[in-house]
């Protein structure tokens, strides 16, 4: 891949899980960002232990050569919470802008079951036509607000939400304007569709509107267990549904080739939430960095 086009980041969720703070509660913010830098990454997303004051956070990252590239934002347009979502979005956007990030990764969390005990593969939510409309209108508005700051909004398709499958991503993309982008996540696309082919098809289809990429791998045997035992999304995470690139079933060579051939410019973020007690975050960060160097040449 072209080193000038792509920057590599890693998400703090491998050190401390924001959805399950008991996973990795022993890992401090300072240790997390130090290990990211030591493993060879130059960017990070934002976790729950990160100071939210740019004046405090910036120097701690700069000394380690780490930049903030994005931070998760939950939207609730489908359920009708437009004013509250926009109000909170503006604060979130201003924080990211102050940190030098230019992309805002959002997830529509109305009806989401990702944090519940419900079976993620059988009980995912679905939107009505009206809920789809509200979501699309909301995202079109967020894109306009972000553009005023020179920023871009992208939707993170996510397991356990109503925008999870390729068909749902298609519907979202067709209802929104071209300045609403897609955060393409290898792990969620593979997990949802169950195949490398479908995951790559989604990537290929939306290249012009992909502005942020999450690199995560999947363990097929855990997905099979999630299905047969009707486990929740978080139960699967604890058991090891996800892992770092090169450690699961996904072949990332075509992912890197498709992005490179298109001339993708932006961040690629290793985001592989596991139980840090079972998968040492620093070891796995090093493993991911080595695999990307060998596979993508960066």
Checking if the pLDDT of 31 tops 90, the result is yes
- Domain contains 95: yes
Whether 81 has a pLDDT exceeding 90, the answer reads yes
Q: Give dist(CA 220, CA 130) in Å, integer.
A: 35
pLDDT at 235: 96
For residues 7-35, average pLDDT:
95
CA distance 129 to 155: 18
Angle at 152 between CA 147 and CA 153, to 5 degrees: 115
pLDDT of 21 reads 87
CA distances from 176 to 160, 203, 242 (A): 21, 18, 30
Q: Is residue 290 assigned to a domain?
A: yes
Does residue 1 sit within a domain? Answer: no
Would you mind telling me the total number of residues written for the chain in this entry? 298
**Structural domains in the chain (count):** 1
Of 88, 61, 42, 64, which is closest to residue 268 (Cα–Cα)? 42
What is the tens place of the pLDDT at every residue in 120-149? 999 999 999 999 999 999 999 999 999 999
Residues above pLDDT 70, as percent of the chain: 100
3-state secondary structure of 185: strand
CA distance 109 to 125: 10
Residue 252's pLDDT band, with cuts at 50, 70 and 90, is: very high
Q: Specify the 3-state DSSP secondary structure of 61.
A: helix
What is the model's pLDDT at position 32? 98
Q: Establish if 137 belongs to a structural domain.
A: yes
What is the pTM (predicted TM-score) of this model? 0.98
Report the mean per-residue pLDDT for the chain. 97
Quick check: 11 and 45 in contact, CB under 8 A?
Answer: yes
Using the predicted structure, report yes or no on whether residue 214 has a pLDDT greater than 90. Answer: yes
Backbone region of residue 246 per phi and psi (left: phi > 0; alpha: psi in -120 to 50; beta: other values): left
Q: Is the pLDDT of residue 181 over 90?
A: yes
Residue 51 counted as domain residue: yes
* Res 37: pLDDT: 98
Rounded mean pLDDT of 4-8?
97
Alpha-carbon torsion (174, 137, 265, 71), positive or negative: negative
* Domain-embedded: residue 61: yes
pLDDT at 141: 98
Q: Average the pLDDT over 170-190 and give the result.
A: 98
Q: At 240, is the pLDDT very low, low, confident or very high (cuts 50, 70, 90)?
A: very high
- Residue 247's beta-bridge partner residues? none
Q: What does the CA dihedral 61, 109, 268, 103 come to, rounded to 10 degrees?
A: -60
Query: Residue-wise over 133-172: b if at least 16 C-beta within 10 A, else e?
Result: ebbbebbebbbeebeeeebbbbbbbbbbbbbbbbebbebb
Mean of pLDDT values over 95-122: 98
108 vs 19, residue with greater confidence: 108
pLDDT (0 to 100) of residue 242: 98
Q: Which domain holds residue 254?
A: 6-296
pLDDT at 270 over 90: yes
112 has a pLDDT exceeding 90: yes
Task: Report the CATH number that the domain containing residue 197 is assigned in CATH.
Answer: 3.20.20.150
User: What percentage of residues in the chain have a pLDDT greater than 90?
Assistant: 99
Is residue 122 domain-resident? yes
Closest CA to 297 of 265, 251, 253, 245: 253
Q: In what order do the strands lie in the sheet with 103-108?
A: 67-70, 43-45, 6-10, 266-270, 210-215, 180-185, 152-156, 103-108, 73-75
- Name the packing angle between helices 166-175 and 186-193 (round to 10°): 120
| Within a domain: 158 | yes
């Amino acid at each position: 891949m072209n080193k000038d086009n792509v920057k590599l980041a890693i998400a703090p969720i491998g050190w401390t899980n924001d959805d399950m703070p008991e996973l990795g509660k022993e890992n401090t913010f300072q240790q997390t960002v130090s290990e990211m830098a030591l493993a060879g990454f130059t960017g990070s997303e934002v976790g729950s232990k990160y100071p939210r004051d740019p004046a405090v956070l910036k120097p701690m990252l700069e000394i380690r050569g780490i930049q903030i590239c994005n931070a998760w934002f939950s939207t609730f347009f489908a359920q009708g919470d437009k004013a509250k979502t926009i109000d909170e979005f503006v604060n979130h956007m201003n924080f990211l802008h102050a940190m030098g990030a230019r992309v805002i990764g959002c997830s529509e969390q109305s009806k989401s079951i990702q944090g519940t005990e419900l079976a993620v593969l059988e009980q995912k939510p679905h939107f009505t036509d009206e809920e789809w409309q509200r979501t699309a209108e909301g995202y079109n508005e967020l894109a306009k607000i972000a553009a005023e700051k020179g920023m871009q909004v992208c939707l993170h398709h996510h397991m356990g939400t109503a925008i999870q499958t390729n068909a749902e991503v298609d519907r979202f993309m067709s209802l929104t304007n071209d300045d609403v982008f897609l955060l393409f996540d290898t792990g969620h696309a593979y997990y949802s569709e169950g195949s490398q082919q479908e995951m790559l098809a989604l990537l290929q289809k939306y290249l012009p509107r992909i502005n942020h990429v999450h690199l995560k791998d999947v363990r097929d045997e855990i997905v099979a267990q999630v299905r047969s035992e009707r486990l929740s999304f978080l139960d699967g995470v604890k058991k090891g549904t996800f892992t770092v690139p090169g450690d699961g079933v996904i072949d990332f060579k075509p992912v890197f080739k498709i992005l490179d051939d298109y001339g993708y410019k932006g961040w690629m973020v290793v985001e592989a939430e596991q139980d840090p007690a079972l998968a040492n975050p620093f070891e796995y960060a090093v493993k991911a960095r080595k695999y990307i160097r060998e596979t993508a040449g960066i």
